[in-house]
């Protein structure tokens, strides 16, 4: 195949140049003026850029990537690879009990893992149906299904491989590993515990994981010390330790100091997840770490609002949010009556994104949903958590929305240590728009409109730099011999269309995408081909 008459963005940071691109099998075999070459098919790229496939280095598609609607959302932005296993919690490695724990606790983030997927199973579950019912009260939700049986990293990667249109790469989740060895215990690991966790890490890396992730505001990751994490980072051998830090925002110095300590103790490269702002606080911390010899990168997404588990936002630390049965039992009592008044300023900032069994409330502000149910906000929240067994998600507004907040995000993403990540969550009827528009927004708003990057620089932030960081071989660049993950994008029209009001609207300006030389998006529609590979690191 020849992609002809386009302008190539090769991923090195160079400006676009006119060239044809030849693909044979899954590889790029020539780039240049190929007027005399013969090919079985020719794709006209006139007026478009020919770019390397983008790598979303922070995506919560661990279970829901099998949904064609999610694959379409990514490909319409030019994303050809998801890095999964984020925030220290995912499905492998672990026993049946551990897999069920991770599936239940992060159901509002990753979704429950489909049980029917196995290597080369090309049948994906249907996309989530629209819900229009609007009952007058709250309805009980059925518990989410949980996968049965233990799961290794090798088995999980085999389930992804050639089963979806996207490539996948997988981080070993520290919280899952800790739970598999120690359960929900807050204790310091014994030498035997640490040895067993280390064996999980070594085995997972041998199976093909691209690093180790932690979620230090989630359970049980919250209980880990820098000493524990550094010990588990020692086998990484150049692959990154990826962390949802213990503290962000104005308290980011606390989180970053721990990151630096872990890097110095272990010698590991580190990558900080969703490092947003304020820039005046964060960028000096980044520069200080780099000056101290830490190999550090971070990701951010181009929005001001967040998306997370509702229980994490509204429950005090003493409520066991990772143990729904115990938490629900406590919520049924009046023991939190003294806590709820402290959230009066929080309720107006919350929009319900995921409420299984209560879909009428998805997309409503929590205050509005409470009004429709005829109860106070705290009472609605309490009932919502009880009836969903804590499987509820929310979009959270930040106090600094406006020009000052956006300028902070712009400064953070312009830094050379930045790489692109959406933090996309696709679960629920009204998720955050970032999973459907972040990469198109990087291009349309931050390149074309604002000039935060040149087109060449954008390819470094979104393709080649993340490929290097996660050791993804022969990806992120358009060069002879590289894997043919190729995106055709229209620089004049590429843009996000997903909003907080309509979060699932697909992006525009990317209509044709190839993964491993196979056309997976044609004229803006999925072709039904599933050449996506589970990528092992170099």
CATH code at position 171: 3.20.20.140
For residue 32, the cross-strand partners are 20
**Would you give per-residue pLDDT tens digits along the chain (538 residues)?**
999 999 999 999 999 999 999 999 999 999 999 998 999 999 999 999 999 999 999 999 999 999 999 999 999 999 999 999 999 999 999 999 999 999 999 999 998 887 644 443 333 333 333 333 333 233 333 333 444 579 999 999 999 999 999 999 999 999 999 999 999 999 999 999 999 999 999 999 999 999 999 999 999 999 999 999 999 999 999 999 999 999 888 889 999 999 999 999 999 999 999 998 889 999 999 999 999 999 999 999 999 999 999 999 999 988 888 888 999 999 999 999 999 999 999 999 999 999 999 999 999 999 999 999 999 999 999 999 999 999 999 999 987 677 788 899 999 999 999 999 999 999 999 999 999 999 999 999 999 999 999 999 999 999 999 999 999 999 999 999 999 999 999 999 999 999 999 999 999 999 999 999 999 999 999 999 999 999 999 8
Domain, as residue range, for 186: 53-122+146-306+400-472
Q: Same domain, yes or no, for 282 and 333?
A: no
Residue that terminates a domain, selected from 373, 396, 419: 396
Q: What is the pLDDT of residue 36?
A: 87
In-domain check, residue 405: yes
Q: Same domain, yes or no, for 58 and 155?
A: yes
Q: What is the pLDDT of residue 276?
A: 83
Distance (Å, rounded) from C-alpha 305 to C-alpha 396? 6
Q: Same domain, yes or no, for 313 and 194?
A: no
Q: What is the pLDDT of residue 400?
A: 67
Residue that terminates a domain, selected from 433, 452, 472: 472
In-domain check, residue 20: no
Instruction: Give Rg (Cα) of the chain.
Output: 22
Q: What is the pLDDT of residue 250?
A: 84
In-domain check, residue 287: yes
Q: Same domain, yes or no, for 297 and 170?
A: yes
Q: Same domain, yes or no, for 185 and 263?
A: yes
In-domain check, residue 453: yes
For residue 55, the cross-strand partners are 81
In-domain check, residue 174: yes
In-domain check, residue 458: yes
Instruction: Provide the whole-model pTM.
Output: 0.93
Q: Same domain, yes or no, for 317 and 387?
A: yes
Q: Same domain, yes or no, for 293 and 322?
A: no
Q: Same domain, yes or no, for 302 and 318?
A: no
Q: What is the pLDDT of residue 31?
A: 98
Structural domain count, the chain: 2
In-domain check, residue 16: no
Q: What is the pLDDT of residue 288?
A: 97
Q: What is the pLDDT of residue 115?
A: 65
In-domain check, residue 531: no
With a CB cutoff of 8 Å and minimum separation 6, the contacts of 38 are none
Q: What is the pLDDT of residue 118?
A: 40
Q: What is the pLDDT of residue 404?
A: 80
Q: Same domain, yes or no, for 293 and 331?
A: no
Q: What is the pLDDT of residue 132?
A: 32
Q: What is the pLDDT of residue 58?
A: 98
The helix/strand/coil state of 201 is: helix
| Residue reference for tokens 């991770």 | 102
Q: Same domain, yes or no, for 325 and 352?
A: yes
Angle of helix 191-207 relative to helix 153-160, nearest 10 degrees, comes to 30
Q: Same domain, yes or no, for 278 and 318?
A: no
With a CB cutoff of 8 Å and minimum separation 6, the contacts of 309 are 106, 108, 109, 321, 390, 392, 393, 394
3-state secondary structure 391-412: CCEEEECCCCCCHHHHHHHHHH
Residue that terminates a domain, selected from 366, 396, 426: 396
Q: Same domain, yes or no, for 153 and 217?
A: yes
């Amino acid at each position: 195949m020849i992609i002809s008459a386009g302008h190539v963005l090769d991923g090195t940071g160079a400006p676009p140049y006119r060239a044809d691109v030849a693909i044979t099998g899954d590889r790029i075999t020539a780039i240049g003026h190929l007027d005399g070459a013969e090919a079985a098919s020719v794709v006209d790229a006139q007026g478009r850029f020919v770019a390397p496939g983008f790598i979303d280095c922070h995506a919560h598609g661990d279970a829901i990537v099998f949904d064609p609607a999610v694959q379409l959302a990514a490909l319409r932005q030019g994303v050809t690879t998801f890095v999964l296993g984020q925030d220290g919690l995912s499905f492998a490695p672990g026993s049946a009990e551990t897999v069920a724990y991770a599936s239940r606790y992060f159901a509002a983030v990753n979704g429950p893992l489909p049980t029917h997927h196995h290597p080369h199973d090309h049948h994906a579950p249907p996309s989530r149906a629209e819900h229009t019912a609007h009952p007058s009260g709250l309805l009980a939700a059925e518990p989410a299904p949980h996968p049965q049986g233990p799961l290794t990293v090798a088995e999980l990667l085999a389930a992804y491989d050639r089963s979806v249109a996207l490539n996948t790469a997988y981080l070993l989740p520290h919280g899952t590993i800790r739970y598999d060895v120690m359960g929900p215990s807050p204790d310091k690991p014994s030498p035997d515990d640490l040895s067993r966790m280390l064996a999980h890490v070594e085995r997972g890396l041998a199976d093909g994981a691209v690093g180790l992730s932690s979620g230090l505001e989630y359970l049980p990751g919250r209980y880990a010390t820098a000493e524990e994490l550094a010990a588990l980072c020692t086998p990484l051998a150049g692959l990154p330790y990826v962390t949802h830090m213990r503290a962000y925002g104005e308290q980011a110095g606390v989180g970053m100091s721990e990151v630096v300590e872990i890097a110095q103790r272990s010698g590991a490269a580190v990558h900080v997840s969703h490092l947003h702002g304020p820039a005046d606080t964060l960028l000096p911390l980044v520069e200080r770490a780099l000056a101290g010899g830490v190999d550090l990168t971070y990701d951010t997404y181009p929005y001001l609002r967040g998306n997370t588990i509702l229980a994490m936002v509204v429950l005090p630390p003493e409520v066991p949010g990772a143990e729904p049965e115990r938490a629900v039992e406590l919520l049924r009592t009046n023991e939190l009556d003294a806590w709820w008044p402290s959230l009066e300023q929080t309720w107006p900032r919350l929009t319900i994104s995921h409420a299984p069994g209560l879909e009428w409330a998805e997309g409503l502000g929590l205050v509005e949903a409470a009004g429709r149910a005829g109860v106070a906000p705290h009472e609605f929240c309490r009932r919502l958590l009880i009836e969903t067994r804590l499987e509820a998600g929310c979009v959270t507004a930040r106090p600094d929305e406006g020009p000052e907040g956006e300028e902070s995000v712009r400064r953070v993403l312009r830094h050379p240590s930045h790489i692109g990540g959406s933090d996309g969550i696709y679960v629920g009827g009204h998720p955050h728009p970032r999973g459907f528009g972040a990469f198109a927004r990087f291009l349309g708003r931050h390149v074309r409109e604002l000039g935060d990057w040149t087109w060449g620089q954008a390819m470094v932030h979104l393709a080649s730099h993340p490929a290097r960081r996660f050791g993804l071989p022969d990806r992120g660049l358009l060069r002879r011999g590289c894997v043919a993950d190729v995106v055709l994008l229209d620089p004049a029209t590429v843009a996000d269309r997903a909003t907080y009001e309509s979060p699932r609207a697909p992006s525009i300006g990317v209509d044709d995408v190839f993964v491993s030389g196979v056309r997976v998006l044609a004229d803006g529609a999925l072709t039904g081909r599933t050449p996506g590979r589970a990528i092992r690191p170099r």
